[in-house]
Structure 1
Amino acid sequence: MMYPYMVLADGTEITHSHIIDNNGTEQVEVHFERATEKGFDSARCVLPTYQWKFNEGFSTEEIHFFEEFLRHNAHLLYRYAAQGGISCA
């Protein structure tokens, strides 16, 4: 399940997973999605490694912006992931 986190000014929606236990490492997957004329741009990053699982449609510059965004918001994303989303915080 993905929980809503934020919508950016350009309409990019950011959602996150619950805490995922990966061999003793707590991970959170963060998904970015934006509607386009042809469908959606989407990308997914795994915290804490900041490894991108996929990117379909976002530019390199946008991905760099998202990485910086994640570095500033990772602590909140982990907190909300542990609590079942921001509405439960």
Structure 2
Amino acid sequence: MMYPFLTLADDTEITHSEMKADGRVKVYIETPDEIGGFHNATCWLPDYEWEDIEGYSDEEMDQFRTMIKDNAHLILEFSTKGGFSNS
């Protein structure tokens, strides 16, 4: 299950999973593009392991890396409680 965490002004959605048995949490970032598709990236916390990055520039990824790092403590907490709305 993925839980909503944040929606940015450009309709980028940041969601996260529940905490897995191994203590990891999947963070998924998705932005609609102008041709009807999506740009996306996945980060695994607490390792900050990024994968499946498609469509984002290096500058955009730098911003996402900073955003996830600055909010990882919240995402990890919410992942144990069924998301933000259940906290």
TM range (shorter): over 0.9
Bigger fraction of residues in strand: 1
SS in 2 for 1:67: helix
* Equivalence for 1:33: 30
Give the paired residue count.
86
- TM-score when normalising by structure 2: 0.93
SS in 2 for 1:15: strand
Question: What is the rounded CA distance, in whole Å, between the counterparts of 2:76 and 2:49 in structure 1?
Answer: 16
Question: What is the rounded CA distance, in whole Å, between the counterparts of 1:52 and 1:3 in structure 2?
Answer: 19
SS in 2 for 1:83: coil
* Equivalence for 1:63: 61
* Equivalence for 1:75: 73
* Equivalence for 2:44: 46
SS in 1 for 2:73: helix
Question: What is the rounded CA distance, in whole Å, between the counterparts of 1:21 and 1:68 in structure 2?
Answer: 26
Note the C-alpha offset of 1:21.
Answer: 2.2
One-letter amino acid of the counterpart of residue 55, structure 1: I
Question: What is the rounded CA distance, in whole Å, between the counterparts of 2:9 and 2:17 in structure 1?
Answer: 22
| Aligned-CA RMSD value | 0.9
Question: What is the rounded CA distance, in whole Å, between the counterparts of 2:19 and 2:64 in structure 1?
Answer: 20
Unaligned runs of 5+ in 2: none
